[in-house]
């Protein structure tokens, strides 16, 4: 099926929407395009998001493969990702920094749709959902992988908070496994790994004359092979497009709905404590393979009801905002749900009862309703490391 229809244009590639190729939108890219005076040459496509496209590129000077992230022009004056990564690049020797996506270079690129921030980042391997889908059929990660990933996420989050930074979008999709072999591969080796680039011509009739701002073709995103978790490499926390400092907090939080804390759902004041709630949800999912709350047809109201049923009463400051029928309790507590998912399996559970109690306790301390009562990422890391060194 065509992926989009813009003023009469069509393309059979399921990729970024053609409608976003306009003034303020995506920069049109062709395979082989050169950036920064010829230093970076595009060789494949890695993916796309609402505010960027991401490409595998060859650094002709450093003789290695990198990820080239080209942000939309409309975010040129408002994007915080470059600022956040630059702050991180000034403290790369501090504990936890090794689990943060590394900014290798950054520059401005002017194109037919405006000016774009271009970020050069490490080229990484699979994210957690891809590993789960392809290696474990959507189940949970093996014990030794899950416990190590959780420790590294908490360590990385602690590092960010010490820099007075908030990630703003912590979830399993933003946790990738490192892939040093991809960076070191020759161009031919990388193309064998990613597969040959497939393109789909943009065709049809425009209501207006064709402009340079619309690409000649779209490229199918490559398939990065799933990391072999039996010889696991460390993780990297990626995607800082929603990150913020104290003075640059966005007006809205775009974290997936089921990971948003109650202060966001209730449109109350919020800060970097949102990361702690999301970390608790992420730990739950890394252990069980499922998020703690039901995401089917979720709304702010239904999520708040689930939270009340599984965690407890809201603080007095919020109780008048959420009417609750105490007679309708039909869900498990968060601890009961955690234990059910860990132990109700058709194979020997990977965690002991006392370990699951400790894991549930830590999740509960991160997912306290009152943001100021949540334990810090550093304290969560110390607790986790004491149980799973």
Q: What is the pLDDT of residues 276-314, one digit of tens each?
A: 999 999 999 999 999 999 888 889 999 999 999 999 999
The confidence score (pLDDT) of residue 176 equals 94
Q: Lowest-confidence range among 75-89, 123-137, 193-207, 368-382?
A: 193-207
SS3 content of the chain, % helix, strand, coil (to 5): 35, 20, 45
- DSSP single-letter state for residue 54: E
CA distance 286 to 335: 15
Length of the chain as a residue count = 389
Tokens describing residue 5: 């229809």
CA distance 177 to 26: 27
Q: What is the pLDDT of residues 87-119, one digit of tens each?
A: 999 988 899 999 999 999 999 999 999 999 999
Q: How confident is the model at residue 45 (pLDDT cuts 50, 70, 90)?
A: very high
E-strand ranges in 97-177 read 103-111, 114-121, 175-177
Q: How confident is the model at residue 3 (pLDDT cuts 50, 70, 90)?
A: very low
Greater model confidence, 255 or 122: 122
3-state class (DSSP) for residue 371: helix
Number of Cβ atoms within 10 Å of the Cβ of 144: 13
Average pLDDT of every residue of the chain: 90
Q: How confident is the model at residue 23 (pLDDT cuts 50, 70, 90)?
A: very high
Q: What is the pLDDT of residues 191-250, one digit of tens each?
A: 999 999 999 988 876 555 456 788 999 999 998 877 677 667 899 999 998 899 988 888
CATH class of 1-125+178-227: alpha beta
Greater model confidence, 7 or 212: 212
What separation in angstroms does the CA of 134 have from each of 131, 142, 196, 284?
A: 5, 14, 21, 20
pLDDT > 90 fraction of the chain, expressed in percent and rounded: 70
The confidence score (pLDDT) of residue 322 equals 78
| Residue 331 confidence (pLDDT) above 80 | no
The confidence score (pLDDT) of residue 1 equals 37
The confidence score (pLDDT) of residue 8 equals 67
Q: How confident is the model at residue 2 (pLDDT cuts 50, 70, 90)?
A: very low
Greater model confidence, 327 or 66: 66
329 annotated to a ligand binding site: no
Q: What is the pLDDT of residues 165-197, one digit of tens each?
A: 999 999 999 999 998 889 999 999 999 999 999
The confidence score (pLDDT) of residue 348 equals 87
- Rounded to 5 degrees, φ, ψ at 233 are -105, 165
Q: Which of 15, 356, 310 is nearest to 302 (CA)?
A: 310
CA distance 216 to 16: 14
């Amino acid at each position: 099926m065509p992926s989009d229809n813009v003023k009469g244009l069509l393309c059979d590639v399921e990729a970024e929407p053609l409608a976003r190729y306009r003034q303020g939108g995506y920069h049109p890219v062709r395979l082989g395009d050169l950036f920064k005076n010829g230093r970076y040459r595009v060789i494949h496509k890695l993916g796309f998001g609402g505010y960027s496209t991401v490409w595998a590129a060859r650094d002709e000077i450093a003789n290695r493969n990198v990820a080239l992230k080209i942000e939309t022009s409309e975010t040129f004056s408002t994007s915080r990702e470059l600022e956040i990564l630059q702050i991180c690049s000034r403290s790369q020797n501090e504990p936890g920094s090794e689990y943060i996506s590394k900014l290798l270079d950054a520059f401005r690129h002017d194109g037919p749709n405006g000016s774009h921030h271009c970020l050069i980042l490490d080229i990484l391997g699979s994210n957690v959902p891809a590993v789960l889908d392809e290696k474990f059929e959507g189940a949970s990660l093996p014990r030794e992988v899950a416990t190590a990933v959780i420790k590294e996420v908490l360590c990385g989050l602690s590092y960010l908070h010490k820099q007075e930074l908030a990630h703003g979008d912590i979830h399993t999709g933003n946790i990738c496994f490192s892939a040093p072999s991809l960076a070191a591969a020759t161009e031919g080796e990388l193309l064998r790994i990613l597969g040959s680039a497939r393109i789909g011509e943009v065709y049809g009739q425009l209501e207006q004359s064709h402009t340079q701002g619309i690409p000649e073709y779209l490229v199918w995103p490559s398939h990065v092979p799933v990391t072999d978790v039996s010889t696991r490499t460390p993780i990297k926390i990626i995607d800082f497009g929603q990150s913020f400092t104290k003075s640059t907090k966005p007006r809205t939080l775009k974290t997936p709905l089921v990971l948003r804390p109650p202060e966001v759902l209730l449109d109350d004041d919020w800060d970097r404590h949102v990361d702690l709630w999301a970390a608790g949800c992420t730990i739950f999912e890394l252990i069980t393979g499922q998020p703690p709350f039901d995401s089917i047809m979720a709304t702010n109201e239904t999520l708040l009801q689930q939270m009340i049923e599984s965690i407890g009463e809201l603080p007095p400051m919020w109780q008048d905002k959420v009417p609750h029928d105490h007679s309708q309790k039909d869900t498990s507590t968060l601890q009961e749900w955690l234990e059910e998912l860990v132990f109700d399996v058709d194979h020997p559970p990977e965690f002991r009862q006392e370990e699951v109690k400790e894991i549930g306790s830590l999740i509960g301390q991160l997912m306290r309703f009152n943001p100021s009562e949540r334990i810090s990422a550093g304290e969560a890391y110390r607790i986790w490391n004491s149980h799973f060194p």
